[in-house]
A and B are shown apart, each in its own frame.
Chain A
Amino acid sequence: MRNLFFYLCFICFAYGLNAQTKILDSILSLRERSANTELSFEERFEFAKIASELSKTTKVDSTILNSNKNLAYFYMSADFKIYRQMNLENLELAKKINDSSSIASINFNLGFYHHYEQQNDSAYYYYTNAVKIYDKLGEDRELTTALINIATIQQVENDFVGSEENAIKAIEILQKLPRTELNLGDLYLLYNLLGLNAYDLKNFQKSIEYHDKALDLAKEMKYGRINELYSSGNLALVYREMGDLGRAIQLWEEVLSNDILMEEDPSFYALSLENITLTRFLNGDVDYDGIESAFESAYQLSDSLDDPYTKASTTISMTRYYKGVDDIPNALKYAEETYTISKEIDANDLLLESLLLLSKLKTGDEGKMYLNEHIRLSDSLLDVERNVRNKRARIQLETDELERKNERIEQQRLVLIIIAVGLLLLLLFIYIIITQRARNKELKFKQDQQKANEEIYNLMLSQQDKVDEARANEKKRISEELHDGVLGRLFGTRLSLDSLNFSEGQDAIKNRASYIEELKTIENDIRKISHDLNTDFVSGSGFMDIVSELIDKQTVAYQLSSKFDFTDDINWESIPNKTKINIYRIIQESLQNIYKHANAKAVKISIQLKNNVICLAIEDDGDGFDVNKSKKGIGIKNINSRVNEVEGTAQFNSEPNKGTEVLISIPYKN
């Protein structure tokens, strides 16, 4: 039954495993199909959605994350709000499973979202996060992209220094990467950005350098023709600002003469056109009709392109022109148009300029009003700028602090781990020392025991030697007795009897009878000697001698009176040495205990044989103890362990003030 259950479980498990792999396979194939660019966007989107749904059923975080990341990509085009939502969810998931690469890319995505929505603060925040992680992971390509985006945001937000810093950082990384079209494009972007930054910082020489560099890069690029034109236009702006109007006009002319411009970027064409026209006017061109028609065509173009920025740029240039030629009504008209457009599109620089122009064109209170508005706006812009910069500094500071905090926590954790490991090692060390010491103690105890046993053994051996010697002496004595006594007399009697053969008669018979009587006496003597030989007078007494000696010596030393009874029925020679040694030690220890604890005056020790059991009894007339209460001392424990060793039993009879009796029974195997 149990086996069946187990089997069922196994099947379920195997099936479950199988199903899991199947689902994973299908998720993978769905994801693959969603990446297939040959299919239509809708189809691919659908596959990605199914993959995501399926992934949710697996409950495996990494699978869900990957599928959702895939799906989020489609939402970037389909629904930007959901794109953000998904990325936020993915971020949580990625943090949960600590997938730092995903965390970085999702941060980048969120940065991209906010960047696109022109929520530059949030974009900056996410991009910064992405940069930090990419930097740590060493993913240079993604790092530079994020850095470029940050630098762009900073440039827009007028944080030129910060922008420059990030741009240079990105350039340094990009220089190390292979000069692919993509990398070159990025490099171009960065140098262009640097050029714009320098321009805004009025560092024109530097700006020219950067734009020249950008121009070179654009030329190096395969599809960099339009970039060349942008750079030329930017250069022209710089030159105009520097006052080199001729050079600026020349550059713009080059730009405008390009055929592809009108196709690729008509806005830029319009922008270039209005710029060159204004510059020409500023340069003292008096062909007013030509200028006006050029402005007009730029205005028409920007209007037809529905590009308010270009339009506003055109109108502000036109305002400046009309103001320059003192055509106040027209100037006012375009100034007001610029004001309206730039207000709509939040183009603050244009707005400010239009306000300034308006305040100059209008007289009286109206002019003042525009001036006031200009002042207010520029102040608020400054405030915003300051705030933004502060905020950004704060973000930087916060992330730095966070980082520092993390570092601190990590350090603390390290210290904690070191301490823990140290403590653990210490504990281990202590444990080892303690066990080692215990083992040593045990070993020492065993050694001592062995030594004591050896001593007793030697004692018994020497006793055996003594017995042997006594036996030898006895043998010699008997031999001498036989030789000198019996043999001599036998010889004498024989000789006499022999000599009586020479004589006959009554006397001789009488004499013979006396010698025969002598023979009888000799016979008796021989029987006696034979008996002596038969009784082994030393046999077995050896061990008891040792014990007697022990008891005598110890009791004399302890000033006890002692009585030792023992039976001769035990053949000690047939008893194993172990038993004898233990009996000896038990008596020795008991006497020690009596001396130490009992305050006794007399001890009685007896060894008897009852029903094939050796009964050892040790009695004293000392203080005694309560057998039930008393914690077992080491003496009693030792006796117990010794008795156990020889498969015997020990009994302690005692009462306070009535002495103690130790009864030990050891089986006698004969």
Chain B
Amino acid sequence: MEHIHILMVDDHPIIIEGYQNTLMATKKENQTLVIDTANTCDAANLLMQRAANERPYDVCFFDISLPPSSDGKITSGEDLAKISRTILPNAKVIILTMFNESYRIHSIVKEINPDGFLIKSDLTSSELAEAFHHILVDPPYYSSTVSNFLNKSVVNEIYVDEINRKILHLLSQGIKTRSLTEYIDLSMSAIEKRKKQLKILFSINDGKDESLIMEARKKGFL
């Protein structure tokens, strides 16, 4: 009998329910799934700390967007994943996110190098099941969207660092330049400077943010 300890973190209970339903329905005969769930960063952190001392998790499912922890130190699934990498080195980390925007994928892959990376919007239960089993045996498993994107940006000659990607992302969300300081820890002038560099990089001549976003999207940075 194979006991697999699993941690599922998502702020929507119904999603966790979905994961559970899927995994329970598709598990192998010899597998016993022990699943802990958490809806908040605090709960997840607590579970991980405890598990590290007693029985570490084999697999951790992290959602990216989560309400921050009460002490404000853990703000997302990304942070939780980092923690699990240090205190549960053998745990397989699977990131499930609604975010299919490129800059997130890039940073997540770079920061955490997860064993699994799935995008909720194109995820079916069979794919989840397949991914789960694949990761247990032969990680990593990246969903087709993620791997496609990674391939594309590797080919791309233009190098755009994380902050610039974030700027592009926020702009594409319709955030105004003067509000960017609320999201990025940079001064207004620094942000303006970066925007100017970006426009040169993407050879935008008319100076419009709109053109910049369009070009970045065409080149696969968004």
Contact = CB atoms under 8 A, between A and B. Distances in A.
B98 A495 contact: no
A483 interface: yes
Main secondary structure of the interface of B (DSSP, over half): helix
Contacts of B120: 487-488, 491
Interface of B: 10-19, 21-22, 24-26, 65, 98, 120-121, 123-126, 128, 173-176
Contact of A498 (B10, B98, B124, B176): B124
B36 to A, nearest CB: 18
Dominant SS at the A interface? helix
B43 to A, nearest CB: 17
A492 B16 contact: yes
A517 to B, nearest CB: 12
B16 A499 contact: no
A477 interface: no
Nearest to A498: B125
Pairs of residues from A and B, 9 with the lowest C-beta to C-beta distance, nearest first: A495-B18, A492-B14, A492-B15, A498-B125, A502-B25, A499-B22, A499-B21, A496-B18, A488-B12
Nearest to A501: B125
A526 B11 CA distance: 19
Given A491-B15, A492-B16, 16 more contacts: A484-B65, A487-B120, A487-B121, A488-B10, A488-B12, A488-B15, A492-B15, A492-B17, A495-B123, A495-B124, A498-B18, A498-B126, A499-B22, A499-B24, A499-B25, A502-B26
A475 interface: yes
A498 B124 CA distance: 7
A492 B18 contact: yes
A494 interface: yes
Contacts of B26: 499, 502
15 contacts: A487-B120, A488-B120, A489-B14, A491-B15, A492-B14, A495-B21, A495-B124, A495-B125, A496-B21, A496-B22, A498-B18, A499-B18, A499-B125, A502-B125, A503-B25
A501 B128 CA distance: 14
B62 to A, nearest CB: 14
Nearest to A475: B174
Give the size category of A's interface with B.
Answer: 20 to 34
Contacts of A502: 25-26, 125
Nearest to A500: B21
Contacts of B25: 499-500, 502-503
A466 to B, nearest CB: 13
A291 B62 CA distance: 181
Contacts of B10: 488
A651 to B, nearest CB: 46
A596 B10 CA distance: 65
A496 B65 contact: no
A472 interface: yes
A626 B19 CA distance: 83
A492 B125 contact: no
A491 B19 CA distance: 10
Given A483-B98, A488-B11, A489-B12, A495 B121 contact: no
B22 A495 contact: yes
Interface in A468-509: 472, 475-476, 483-484, 487-489, 491-496, 498-503
Contacts of A496: 14, 17-18, 21-22
Nearest to A496: B18
Interface in A452-475: 472, 475
Nearest to A490: B14
B96 to A, nearest CB: 9
User: Which among A472, A489, A502 has the highest number of chain B CB atoms within 10 Å?
Assistant: A502
Contacts of A488: 10-12, 14-15, 98, 120
Contacts of A159: none
Contact of B98 (A487, A494, A499): A487
A518 interface: yes
B104 to A, nearest CB: 13
Nearest to A468: B176
Contacts of B174: 472, 475-476
A499 B18 CA distance: 7
Contacts of A499: 18, 21-22, 24-26, 125
Contact of A491 (B98, B173, B176): B98
